[in-house]
Amino acid sequence: MAYRKIADLIAARIASGELAPGERIPSTRQIMAEHGVAMATATRVIAALREQGLVQARPGLGTVVAQETPEAAPDRDRVVRTAITIADAEGLTGLSMRRLAAELGIPTMSIYRHFADKEELVLLMMDEAMGATPPPDLDPAVVGWRACLEALARLQWEMYRRHKWLAQAISFTRPLLAPNAMAHTEWAMRALDAYGMSPSLQFVAAAMVANYVRGTAVNLEEEAQAEQETGMDDAAWMRARFDQLEAVLATGRLPMIARFVASDERFDLDLLLDFGLQRILDGLEPLVSPGAASSPSGGRG
């Protein structure tokens, strides 16, 4: 929405200190002229900033940046930890600056003194979560590269289980530069470093394993949200639809799936993760043997 984008721009100016407490913010007419919007949109911009506690009306002055009392200023680490607690319980969709401020019992403006926007907050949340889960204490020279990568992958899986929002926050195409997250990649590359791989192949191998775990973990938050909405876990959901499944299988069009269902074999995300992880590590085996290709494209370099 146009008004929300404009409000975010002004909020960022307040957070950076460009607009100081007590200073007038752009009027509705100035917002209309600068952004080419109607009076109704400009009015909603001011209202949105007021709802966040960032501005207040001052007789004779207009709308100004709200004053922040010293006791209202939160500790940055405490804000991040509280945001993680909210996200753990409600997912990233349940986390907003206003929700966070309400949980802390402080003005929303106090949050913006530390974080320009939600993206910066999520970056610090991610870094805090991964910092609390450092790479395992293993020596590649003793246990080998495979044991190291497998241990790191399982550690990351358990981390995603504790913080189901985390997989959604991580991107491998536009990564947030979090030092503690990067330390996981550094550790995996170090585990492969004694096997003649080029840095590019080490990096791609480390990222591939991490991306596989993260890709599987994306399902965890979706399942948690579905369970909150329906009151049923995945097993209960399947039982409620077993009659539908039997009807589909009774057509005879899916004999292989029917045979699997009849076998009553276990299938869940843990099994899926374990099976895929072992196949990925199997695929890396030839690349760590003498004479193996040392670049992702198969060349030497």
Domain boundaries, the chain: 2-67, 71-115, 140-288
CA-wise closest residue to 92 among 52, 55, 134, 129:
129
pLDDT at 237: 61
Question: Residue 220 to residues 91, 99, 161, 227: CA-CA distances in angstroms?
Answer: 11, 23, 7, 11
Half-sphere exposure of 74 (CA within 13 A, CB side): 25
Percent of the residues in the chain that have a pLDDT greater than 70, as a whole number: 87
Q: Is the pLDDT of residue 95 over 80?
A: yes
Question: How far apart are the C-alpha atoms of 254 and 161, rounded to whole Å?
Answer: 33
Least trusted range by pLDDT, from 42-51, 145-154, 230-239, 292-301: 292-301
For tokens 């099976």, what's the residue? Answer: 275
What is the helix (H) or strand (E) element at residue 207, kind and residue range? helix 199-230
CATH 1.10.10.60 corresponds to the domain 71-115 = yes
Within 10 A of 118 (CB to CB), how many other CB atoms are there? 17
**For the residues 230-259, what does the mean pLDDT come to?**
76
Given this structure, which CATH class describes domain 140-288?
mainly alpha
Average pLDDT, the chain: 84
Q: What is the pLDDT of residue 293?
A: 47
Considering only the C-alpha atoms of the chain, give the largest distance between any 2 of them, rounded to a whole number of Å.
79
The distance in angstroms from the start CA to the end CA of the chain is: 49
Q: Is it the case that residue 300 has pLDDT exceeding 50?
A: no
68 neighbors 109 (Cβ within 8 angstroms) = yes
pLDDT at 98 over 90: no
Q: Give the chain's radius of gyration (CA, Å).
A: 25
pLDDT at 268 over 90: no
Report which residue type is found at 179.
P
pLDDT of residue 234: 67
Residues 6+ apart with CB under 8 A from 72: 106, 107, 110
Which of 10-19, 54-63, 289-298 has the weakest average pLDDT? 289-298
Do the two domains 2-67 and 71-115 of this chain adopt the same fold? yes
Give the pLDDT of residue 4. 83
Encoded amino acid at 159, one letter: M
Query: Taking the model in full, what pTM does it have?
Result: 0.67
**242-270 average pLDDT score:** 81
The predicted-structure confidence for 209-230, as pLDDT tens digits, reads as follows: 999 999 999 988 877 666 666 6
Q: Report the percentage of the chain scoring pLDDT > 90.
A: 38
What pLDDT is recorded for position 224?
Answer: 67
CATH topology assigned to domain 2-67:
Arc Repressor Mutant, subunit A (1.10.10)
- β-partners of residue 62 are 58
Predicted pLDDT at 3: 87
Number of Cβ atoms within 10 Å of the Cβ of 47: 13
